Amino acid sequence: MQNLLNKQWHCLQVNEVLEQLKVKPDFGLEESEVLERQQAFGANRLSQKKGQSPFMLFLSQFNQPLIYLLLAATVITAFLQEWVDSSVIFGVVLVNAVIGFIQESKALKAIEALSKTMDTEATVIRAGYKQRIPASELVVGDIVVLQSGDKVPADMRLIRSRELQVAESALTGESVPVQKQIDSLLLDTVLADRKNMAYSSTLVTYGTATGVVVAIGDQTEIGRINELISAAEVLATPLTKKIEQFSKMLLWAILTIAMLTVGLGLFRGDPLLDIFMATVALAVASIPEGLPAAMTIMLAIGVSKMAARHAIIRKLPAVETLGSTSVICSDKTGTLTQNQMTVENILAGNKMLTVTGGGYAPSGEFLCDEKKFDPKTHETLMECLRAGLLCSDARLINTDEGWKIEGDPTEGALITSAAKAGLSIEALHESMPRIDSIPFESEHQYMATLHDMPQSSSRIIFLKGSVEQVLARCKDTLEDGNRTLELNTDEVHRHVVNMTAKGLRVLAFAKLEIPKTQEHISHEDVSGGLTFLGLQGMIDPLRPEVVASVCTCQKAGIRVKMITGDHIGTAVAIAEQLGLQTNGTKKVKALSGRELETLSDEELIEEAETTAVFARVAPEQKLRLVEALQTKNYVTAMTGDGVNDAPALRQSNIGIAMGITGTEVAKEAADMVLTDDNFSTIEAAVEEGRSVYDNLVKFITWTLPTNLGEALVILVAIFAGVGLPITPVQILWINMTTAIFLGLMLAFEQKEPRIMARLPRNPKEHVLTPKLIFRIFLVGIMLPIGAFGLYNWELSHGESEAAARAVAVNMFVFGELFYLFNCRSLTYSMFKMGVFSNGLLLLGVAGMILAQLLLTYAPFMNVAFGTAPLGLAEWALIVGASFVIYLIIELEKFIQRSLSTQRLKP
């Protein structure tokens, strides 16, 4: 069996292929042969790239510098038999690991679930019977029947074909469907020219065919490309790089200070246990334990918000990168447009009509000179619409998901326009049944159908095709009232020019009556003498929400570029509707793929920046465009759906795959998958990315003063030779409970005002600006002053050390609680954001207060954490000192806003 693999099937005759595969075309394989071949070749599936096992994924959560320190602290405290401290520290590490593991597992499962929704079925002939089976059950030698709309389920050698056309853009990048045939080809014929083969994951757009499966799974052409693309790498975004750098810097700083602390303790002759506990306290105080978990959860919340808006993020850090996107390179068809051809203009009887309504829904109106027009009053118009409906092989279907088309999208548009005029598809086919037809062929550029008219003494031929081919066959034109006049081709061409200038694809229609006795038609029958009926101009219309989304992106400083395989004229017309004009002019700058080929890398860098439309672009040219834009330091988002798009998706800062039309290879290479293939989803994801980044910065700005303050308290105590105001276990309590109850609630903060009116963030800029660093140090100094002051005040009034430490702990917690309201916006007051706009934050504050009351008054917590109950006087001091911190920071924000306003004034 294995000798059947890797053969060059395209150079063999049909009978040779069937003989080598041991199969009869009309009978197929017996079930016993199917089972034997399934065992030999396996299932028709692409091998999943081997990722980390769940256990290794869990262990990878511990691979962080700061976690190493906490693990070391766990071991040291356990060695010193400080079991409570050791358990709490390790518990914190474990919680971080579990949260990270759960969120990464969810991201992987989301992609797997999406992949399963893309499973297809195939029609096969087995043991002489035609049947539908899952495509995964196909074997080499299966006889497969293809028809319009089918996704090719495996690599096949065609053995019969009737006008088969296959869209191979997913594999070869060819934008136009390929006309197939069954004759053998030369051995050295390149993949894109193998017209007797149909390849897995390509799409049948027209005609029917029968083929024999010659390769499945990883042995298919798409499987081989899939193997060449390595497993998706862990993203190293600007934020994750900076956090990693910060962690390493903090690690060395903590180790250095810890060594100095040990040295000082030994020099002074302090007890070894005290030295180690002070060192552990300093290490634990300096580490923002909640930061890894909080970052993971906040990014995961962003992922959830994006998923609700039809964007699935494959890796959490990609959320942050979206916030700095400065260029979006979008495909046209299906992303900017509806991917549903729609007739917009009709010329009939010298009247130019507008048709309203988009997509395949048969609802809309006819307008003439912007006034409502009844199509049934214009016989020439109705005849033109009948021609479009009857001279078509597509079917209009009403599904639960809306109106859809089976067959060619262009024919779908013609059927829909006829239905809008009240023509019944079923009734017309019944009253004018088809007798014969001439299928569309690229060399003739037209299609013709012969219809009987039971109430007439003649039969009628309807012809549709390119304007040039139809006009060349017409002798006159039909005017209203069934009058015929001499055809003015110049006048028709003038209308065609106006229609194509609007990006419309124009088809012409004609008819010819023939004797009732004629049963068949040929090309000779339609070579002349026809009556011209009119023109129908159609376009794939813009999605209604896209214009506003593009405008929003432009206001946010994000350049939008259209990349399409369509004709340059159509692309420019769509771009003008989108507002992609260059530098405020009315002109859209566009380049074709052929022009791109002639540009050097240096020339392309300049053109890529200033050009808005790239038409007839091959997938490999997308990669050059991405690299050119990145050379200019643009953070680039690129859309793609084909196998050949994978390199560009991988190279771009944010690769965006289409969930509906995209191949599995494209999705694997992408950072984000759009489940609705809609450009507006990209804009929504960028907006969410900016919001997530804002909230992450708010959290970092909020949490670092705690660690700074705790470390200063410990350092002062060590160098002053006094007792520690807070112990290691109390520090962990502060860090973890405040992160969970308070800090994480910032993830649910509302978007900042005018978030999409800001320019994209420069990925090279630091996470923390000088203003925020000043604020962190300001709060980081105020917290230890308050904690140390109240700690010493308690001791000076004869209170126990446990009570004094309880005051210090509560000072840190309530200081952070009041500072949290400052951090709801780093620029504005919380009153501008809305006091009650973040209900979860208020719940978190309530939870934090309850937790502190439990820590302060519950006997078992007093024992575990070394605290004692407090009186009203202590609480008044704690809340008063915390409120002072809030007021000082609000004053600082007000001063910063005032200075910014003055700088903006001329």
Instruction: List, by residue number, the catalytic residues.
Output: 331
Neighbour-count burial of 15, counting CB atoms closer than 10 A to its CB (0-12 exposed, 13-18 middle, 19+ buried): exposed
How many Cβ atoms sit within 10 Å of the Cβ of residue 540? Answer: 24
Retrieve residue 401's tokens: 């998901």
- Residue 148 exposed, middle or buried by CB count within 10 Å (0-12, 13-18, 19+): buried
Nearest C-alpha neighbor of 246 from the set 297, 292, 299? 292
CA dihedral 464, 469, 474, 478 (to 10 degrees): 40
Q: What does the alpha-carbon distance between residue 665 and residue 29 come to, in Å, rounded to a whole number?
A: 31
Contact 638, 648 (CB under 8 A): yes
Contact 96, 292 (CB under 8 A): yes
Euclidean distance between CA atoms 434 and 453, whole angstroms? 10
The candidate with the shortest Cα–Cα distance to 278, out of 710, 703, 704, is 710
**Cα 612–616–619 angle (5° rounding)?**
95
The SS3 assignment for 352 reads: strand
Q: Which of 848, 847, 869, 849 is nearest to 858 (CA)?
A: 869
Helix (H) or strand (E) holding 144: strand 143-147
Polymer length of the chain: 906
d(CA 31, CA 24): 14
CB 171 within 8 A of CB 221: yes
CB count, 10 Å around CB of 180?
24
Q: What is the CA radius of gyration of the chain?
A: 35
Say how many C-beta atoms besides its own lie within 10 A of residue 674's C-beta: 27
At residue 889, what is the residue type?
Answer: I
Per-residue DSSP letter, 233: P
Longest alpha-carbon distance in the chain = 121
C-alpha separations of 612 from 262, 330, 622, 656 in Å = 63, 11, 14, 19
Measured between its terminal Cα atoms, the distance across the chain in Å is 81
List C-alpha distances in Å: 733 to 364, 730, 897. Answer: 65, 5, 35
Give CA separation, 748 vs 83, 315, 744, 839, in Å: 36, 20, 8, 9
Q: Phi, psi (5° rounding) for residue 618? A: -80, 150
Q: Can you state the angle between helices 679-720 and 546-555, rounded to 10 degrees?
A: 40
